[in-house]
Amino acid sequence: MRHGKKVNHLGRKAAHRKSMLANMACSLIEHKRINTTVAKAKALKQFVEPLITKSKTENNQTVEKGTHNRRIVFKSLRDKYAVTELFGSVAEKVADRPGGYTRIIKLGNRLGDNADMAMIELVDFNEIYNAGKPKKQKTTRRGRSKKSDDATAVVEETAKAEAPKVEEPKADKKADDAKE
């Protein structure tokens, strides 16, 4: 039975596991995607997503909060470049996403030891996968979104424009031919 076992130890001591996850998180932030085993990818997802949430701009509106969050993230990552990248371009891209910043894609088995391999990537940095999908409008559960009023006005305008036009009845063809 696995009662209360939330941490996958990955066959390593605590210090080695923390160092490995910090290094993998820095590589993920720097390269935006990395290949690893499925177990390590799942552990990395749990490690890096709270750090990305701390980097979002809405959490860092004041200088004090921003500095505090940078120090908390630096304590986990231990890499200045990764922290700068995370609070810069990554935070800018994930600003409107309410969680789920990473995606795990299974790749198959490794040739040497038949281990399950996966690619973990930051969702917002894959332009190929997101190219065909339009950006979703943000709505609240409290009521109608602000965009819905504009959308109904646009629908009404298009309905008027697409309404069949009534043609005026022509007089005799003979009269038209005579004019020519």
Q: What is the pTM of this model?
A: 0.72
For the residues 48-70, what does the mean pLDDT come to? 93
Instruction: List all residues 6 or more positions away from 39 whose beta carbon is below 8 Å from its beta carbon.
Output: 8, 10, 116
Cβ neighbours for 40, distance < 8 A, ≥ 6 positions apart: 10, 20, 24
Q: For position 79, what pLDDT does the model report?
A: 96
Tokens (6 digits) for 78: 């231990």
Residue 35 clears pLDDT 80, i.e. is over it: yes
Give the domain extent around 39.
14-125
The answer to whether residue 157 is domain-embedded is no
Q: Is residue 75 part of a domain?
A: yes
Q: How far apart are CA 157 and CA 180, in angstroms?
A: 39
Is residue 4 pLDDT above 80, yes or no? yes
Contact 145, 137 (CB under 8 A): yes
- Give the ranges where 114-145 is alpha helix by DSSP (H): 127-130
Q: Is residue 5 part of a domain?
A: no
Number of domains in the chain: 1
- Specify the pLDDT at position 144: 58
**For residue 173, is it within any domain?**
no
Give me the mean pLDDT over the 81-100 stretch.
94
Residue 7 lies in a domain: no
Q: What does the pLDDT average to over 135-143? A: 65
- Residue 4 domain-assigned (yes or no): no
Does residue 81 form part of some domain? yes
The more confidently predicted of residues 169 and 10 is: 10
CATH code, domain with 75: 3.90.1030.10
